Amino acid sequence: MVQLFRVAKIYPPNYPALKDIYLQIDKGEFVFVNGPSGAGKTTLLRLLFRAEDASEGQIVVNGRNITRLDGKGVAELRRELGLVFQEFKLLPTMTALENVALAAQVVGVSRQESKRKAFHLLRELGLKDKHDARPPTLSGGEQQRVAIARALVNEPMLVLADEPTGNLDAETAEETMRLFLKIHERGTTVLLATHDTGVLKRFGCRAVFLQRGELVGDSKQESGEARL
């Protein structure tokens, strides 16, 4: 699903945010990207949805080499992804339903069908009574669930989440994490960046560790080596 070969990212003028990254993520995996602040987690995710260009190396997402894409190619790539951010990125003037439906509508789904899909997703995520609420009137956890619904509305192959629980209290964060596990159980590949180490132990998924731009650990390889 995701392959990185010798990937490096140097921010101008010459700050190396990622160095020599090799990483393979298979279809259906749930992977935490972990590491201290400034390690390069956000940078890694931004490379995958082409908000940044890699300085070196090749990146393949869903069978497509994304290192060289024009504007059209980037749009096509992102249609296969679901993105969730720490700060939700919802439009405050639109209702929850409109926020979710917008994402479907702009990739060519009819207005009716977009609203129908948004309606069902919001209900599934426990926001049945909040369709017509605008984001500023919702709690943080509710806003993040609207954002997750938006990420899922186009049925992505891969969900990329960058600190999705960073703005939530412990209890809401835990609920939100379980939501990502549920999404994963339905067959979606999930890549989730977090600096929270506690969550790794509790969920026991694969985790890769970044430190100062280098990939310093991968629980999959370690357990594989342990088995040998």
Ligand X SMILES: Nc1ncnc2c1ncn2[C@@H]1O[C@H](COP(=O)(O)OP(=O)(O)OP(=O)(O)O)[C@@H](O)[C@H]1O
Binding site for another protein (CB under 8 A): 49, 71-72, 74-81, 83, 89, 91, 102-103, 105-111, 150, 154
Cβ 177 to another protein shortest distance, Å:
22
- Mask for 28-47, x = binds ligand X (CB under 6 A): -------x-xxxxxxx----
75 interface partner picked from ligand X, another protein, Mg ion, none, CB below 5 to 8 A per type: another protein
The upper half-sphere exposure of residue 113, i.e. CA atoms within 13 Å in the direction of its Cβ, equals 9
Distance separating alpha carbons of residues 4 and 82, to the nearest angstrom:
19
The β-bridge partners of 10 are 16
194 lines the binding site for Mg ion (CB under 5 A):
no
108-142 core/surface letters (b: 16 or more CB in 10 A; e: else): ebeeeebbebbbebbeebebeebbebbbeebebbb
Cβ 94 to another protein shortest distance, Å:
9
Piece of 10-18, 58-66, 140-148, 178-186 that binds ligand X (CB under 6 A)? 10-18
136 interface partner picked from ligand X, Mg ion, another protein, none, CB below 5 to 8 A per type: none
Distance separating alpha carbons of residues 202 and 22, to the nearest angstrom:
26
Question: Which residue from 14, 15, 72, 171 is in contact with ligand X, where contact means CB under 6 A?
Answer: 15
For residue 26, which phi and psi values (nearest 5 degrees)? -90, 165
- Mask for 42-81, x = binds ligand X (CB under 6 A): xx--------------------------------------
One-letter amino acid of 125: L
Region 161-220 residues binding ligand X, contact defined as CB under 6 A? 195
Coil/strand/helix, residue 72: helix
Give the pair of three-digit tokens for residue 112: 């009716």
SS (H, E, C) 126-175: CCHHHCCCCHHHCCHHHHHHHHHHHHHCCCCCEEEEECCCCCCCHHHHHH
42 lines the binding site for Mg ion (CB under 5 A):
yes
Q: Is 71 exposed, middle or buried (0-12, 13-18, 19+ CB in 10 A)?
A: exposed
Cβ 10 to ligand X shortest distance, Å:
9
Cβ 31 to ligand X shortest distance, Å:
15
Residue nearest to Mg ion (CB): 42
Instruction: Report the interface residues with ligand X, using CB under 6 A.
Output: 11, 15, 17, 35, 37-43, 195
